[in-house]
Amino acid sequence: MKFIAFNVRSDEEKYFKAWEAQNDLQVRCVSGPLTNDELDSVAGYDAVLALQTGTYPQDMFKKFKEYGVKVFSIRNVGVDNIDLKAAKENGVLVTNVPAYSPNAIAEFSVTQLMQLLRNITLFRNKVAAHDFRWAPYVGKELRTLTVGVIGTGRIGRAAINIYRGFGAKVIAYDLYPNPTLEKEGIYVDSYEELFKQADVITLHMPATPSDHHLIDKKAIAQMKDGVYIINTARGALIDTEALISGIKEGKIAGAALDTYENESPIFNNDLRNKELTDSLFKQLLELDNVLITPHVAFYTETAVENMVTIALNSAREACEKGTAETLVK
């Protein structure tokens, strides 16, 4: 049994090597992404592992079938960029890592909100300019706010526990409510109701066609004045142009974006000394009350090890048994 893994970073290599030694299986690691140019290299391998937020080759699963690849195992949760229909038609099993570290993302989202509430970017800029005055940037205490959590899966529930620890009031919305949380009465009946009540809106949900630009001009108009928006989920959930307008008009007090709807050409790329051509992204960078991070909410040692190990275990299980606990249906 042989595996090939793409987009393998230097921080992942030790976990691949450790697993390879423990399981006595060959794993070839490739630093680059899985592209059309790389498709021929998968011939002879039983499973392909990948991790990329952009698009995969259009005829990937057709080629997998031709080359004898049985399993496609991704080292992340989201499958919105994978043609699952094509995978099924070509007899290729797809696995993911449903939970590599919910706490990593939850903690990061709260950390970003705390920076917004205390105007950290503004004060950092002032201090760098040797301006040590306080006013007028008075902060807010999290315990005085209502936090609206959209998506109460593993990550959303971890975030809820943290927010409760700060003493904040938490409300939530999910198409598939968690039974325990439902008994606690924290759910509202609609997005609109959450928008109207929440001082903070934090997104912890997958991206689907029906949720594209969930946060748009209409949604922002329904929100409270001075709302904060946190997105560590998927960039497509937010209409960036509408978000920028809401911030410039003062409707939105601040936003923390760990993901961006057009992030693939930007995030995880070294663009130093290069001109950014995305005008919307450039506008976001110019706003002092917007925090942008390059899709790193998940990025902890614990999460990285889990992503690699679970993906490899899933690939082996699927190859051996024709199914896996993490099989994407």
The string of pLDDT tens digits covering residues 8-33 is 999 999 999 999 999 999 999 999 99
**What CA–CA distance (Å, rounded) separates 50 from 37?**
15
Q: What is the pLDDT of residue 264?
A: 87
- Could you write out the DSSP letters of every residue in 253-286? EEEEES--TT-TTTTTS--TTS----HHHHHHHT
HEC letters along 289-325 = CEEECCCCCCCCHHHHHHHHHHHHHHHHHHHHHCCCC
Shared-domain flag, residues 160 and 17 = no
Cα–Cα distance for residue pair 201/209, rounded to 1 Å: 20
Q: What mean pLDDT comes out for the span 103-114?
A: 97
Report how far Cα 84 is from the mean position of its chain's Cα atoms.
20
Q: Indicate which residue of 154, 157, 204, 263 is catalytic.
A: 263
Residue 254 included in any domain: yes
Residues 90-110 have a mean pLDDT of: 95
**Do 264 and 191 reside in the same domain of the chain?**
yes
Residue 297, CA distances (Å) to 186, 233, 243, 278 in order? 25, 9, 20, 23
Residues 274, 208 share a domain:
yes
Please tell me whether residues 237 and 205 are part of one structural domain: yes
- Tokens 């049985």 sit on residue: 70
Where do we find the tokens 């929100």? 223
197/52 same-domain check: no
Q: Which domain holds residue 138?
A: 102-292
pLDDT for residue 286 = 95
CATH value at residue 79: 3.40.50.720
Q: Does residue 329 form part of some domain?
A: no
The mean pLDDT value of the chain amounts to 96
Indicate the helix (H) or strand (E) that contains 242. Answer: helix 240-248
For residues 152 and 285, membership in a common domain is answered with yes
Is 326 contained in some domain? no
Residue 47 lies in a domain: yes
Active-site residue among 204, 295, 316, 317?
Answer: 295
Tell me the per-residue pLDDT of 112-170, one tens digit each, with 9 for 90 and over.
999 999 999 999 999 999 999 999 999 999 999 999 999 999 999 999 999 999 999 99
- Which of 75, 154, 234, 316 is flagged as catalytic? 234
Residues 9 and 157 in one domain: no
Do 282 and 206 have their domain in common?
Answer: yes
Which whole number is the average pLDDT over 92-97?
97
**Same-domain pairing of 145 and 234:** yes
The total number of structural domains in the chain stands at 2
- Residue among 99, 47, 52 at smallest CA distance from 73: 47
SS3 155: helix
State yes or no: is 234 an active-site residue: yes
